[in-house]
């Protein structure tokens, strides 16, 4: 049986489940600690994915007038994949 790679949405759903369990006091102390650790790792991973996605979509450009504007990121190499 091959392992399916988890998607961003899968990880977000799992994090929401962990938070719900912690908020409802459904877990023992040990289970709560394990859920907290798993949730912390998922949260960090999700933030990294969001930052990576944001960088792919936009880049910050400084205009001749010294102002900043957001411009779509040209990344044709990845679009061909």
**Across 34-50, average pLDDT:** 96
User: Does residue 22 form part of some domain?
Assistant: yes
The pLDDT of residue 79 is above 70:
no
Q: How many domains does the chain have?
A: 1
Q: How many CA atoms lie within 13 A of 46 on its CB side?
A: 16
Phi, psi (deg, nearest 5) at residue 27: -115, 155
What is the pTM for the complete model shown? 0.65
User: Does residue 68 form part of some domain?
Assistant: yes
Percent of the chain whose predicted confidence (pLDDT) is above 90: 53
Range of the domain at 38: 8-79
User: Does residue 29 form part of some domain?
Assistant: yes
């Amino acid at each position: 049986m091959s392992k399916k790679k988890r998607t961003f949405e899968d990880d977000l759903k799992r994090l929401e489940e962990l938070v719900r369990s912690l908020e409802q006091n459904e877990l023992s102390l040990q289970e709560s600690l394990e859920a907290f650790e798993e949730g912390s790792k998922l949260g960090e991973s999700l933030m990294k994915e969001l930052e990576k996605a944001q960088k792919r979509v936009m880049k910050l450009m400084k205009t001749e007038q010294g102002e900043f504007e957001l411009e779509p990121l040209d990344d044709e190499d990845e679009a061909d994949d």
